[in-house]
């Protein structure tokens, strides 16, 4: 552990502004963990205007999200963009190491100084990933990223929440996984701005597209002014990636024109603040002493002396 005094946050942020990859990595480590300099980093990043287009990717394991992310990075680099990649695993309590395999597949970009790749897991920051991800986005914004790809694993509620932190949410599907229906069930269809049917060279891609159109016709969609487009890609060969880049740019333009960009960013900030506040309240609950303390109250609930609602009220009152 580095003592607080040894970290010059202002200097780190300045170096991140000049796209120093080590400064970027260090700042993200601070926002990911409960670092003593976390507050100072947050204050330092507060004035940074959000320029980057934040794109969330979600979808079941096996649809090829990592390969698609890789292909998107290649295409974005070809047009001269600086790119950030956050690979988020909300279901893992462990550090980013679990995603090592994915990172190895990103190998071709790992030496590129205009690409920042980072894995994040819920490691105990106050407020969890709902707080850590927006801060990490600010760090990547400071470093001048034009596009930030936030890739989640799985299609659970947590993954959907992370993906919804983005400006544009991309749902990736593939033939043969039956996940059109799964996605509909998980409510993910409603939050997607762009659908991608990847592995389109395989049989069944047309069926997935049709299923998706049907689900789409029955659902309200995320915003009435935007009809989510359905694209087909074969990420391994690069097929359809230019069209996807075009669809993302089109959505970004719509976000700006419609004023929805500001709405989403404000909602993202509200979620972030709430997550931090609830995390802080939870910490206070854990450290309370006396009869309202959580463990004492739990004992009384088990013994039938009180009910959990009365106990919860006492807990809040003792804050």
What is the contact surface with a second copy in residues (CB under 8 A)?
38-39, 42-43, 45-50, 90-94, 98, 122, 127, 131, 134-135, 154, 156-158, 185-187, 262, 265-270, 272-274, 276-278, 280-282, 285, 294-295, 297-299, 301-302, 304-313, 315-316, 319
Minimum CB separation of residue 93 from a second copy in Å reads 6
- Cβ contacts of 16 within 8 Å, gap of 6 or more: 23, 24, 27, 139, 142, 143
CB of 136 to a second copy, least distance (A): 13
Residue placing its CB nearer to a second copy in the complex, 105 or 267: 267
Task: Supply the minimum distance, in Å, between the C-beta of residue 89 and a second copy.
Answer: 9
Distances (CA, A) of 293 to 297, 312, 314: 6, 10, 9
Query: Where do we find the tokens 């980072």?
Result: 118
Write the DSSP symbol of residue 59. Answer: B
Residues in CB range of 210: below 8 A, 6 or more apart: none
Q: For residue 247, what are its two tokens?
A: 């669809």
In terms of CB distance, is 148 or 200 closer to a second copy? 148
* Burial zone of 87 (CB within 10 Å; 0-12 exposed, 13-18 middle, 19+ buried): buried
Measured CA to CA, the distance from residue 137 to residue 91 in angstroms comes to 20
> Which of 29/229 has CB closer to a second copy?
29
Cβ at position 299, least distance to a second copy in Å: 6
Residue closer to a second copy by CB (options 45, 235) is: 45
Least separation in angstroms between CB 277 and a second copy: 4
């Amino acid at each position: 552990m580095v003592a607080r005094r040894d970290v010059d946050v202002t200097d780190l942020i300045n170096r991140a502004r000049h796209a120093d990859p080590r400064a970027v990595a260090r700042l993200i480590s601070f926002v990911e963990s409960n670092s003593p300099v976390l507050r100072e980093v947050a204050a330092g990043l507060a004035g940074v205007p959000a320029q980057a287009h934040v794109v969330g990717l979600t979808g079941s394991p096996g649809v090829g999200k990592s390969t698609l992310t890789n292909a998107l990075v290649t295409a974005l680099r070809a047009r001269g963009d600086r790119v950030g990649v956050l690979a988020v695993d909300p279901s893992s309590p462990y550090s980013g190491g679990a995603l090592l395999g994915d990172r190895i597949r990103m190998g071709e970009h790992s030496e590129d100084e205009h690409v920042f790749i980072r894995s994040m897991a819920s490691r105990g920051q106050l407020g969890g990933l709902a707080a850590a991800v927006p801060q990490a986005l600010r760090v990547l914004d400071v470093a001048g990223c034009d596009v930030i790809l936030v890739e989640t694993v799985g299609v659970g509620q947590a993954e959907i929440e992370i993906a919804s932190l983005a400006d544009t949410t991309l749902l990736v599907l593939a033939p043969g996984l039956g996940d059109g229906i799964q996605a509909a069930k998980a409510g993910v269809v409603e939050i997607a701005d762009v659908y991608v049917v990847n592995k389109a060279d395989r049989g069944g891609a047309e069926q997935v597209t049709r299923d998706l159109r049907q689900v789409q016709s029955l659902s309200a969609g995320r915003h009435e002014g935007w009809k989510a487009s359905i694209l087909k890609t074969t990420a391994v060969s690069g097929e359809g990636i230019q069209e996807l880049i075009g669809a993302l740019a089109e959505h970004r333009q719509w976000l700006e024109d419609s004023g929805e960009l500001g709405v989403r960013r404000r909602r993202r900030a509200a979620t972030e603040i709430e997550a931090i506040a609830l995390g802080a309240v939870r910490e206070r609950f854990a450290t309370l002493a006396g009869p309202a303390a959580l463990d004492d109250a739990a004992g009384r609930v088990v013994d039938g002396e009180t009910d959990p609602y009365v106990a919860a009220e006492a807990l809040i009152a003792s804050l």
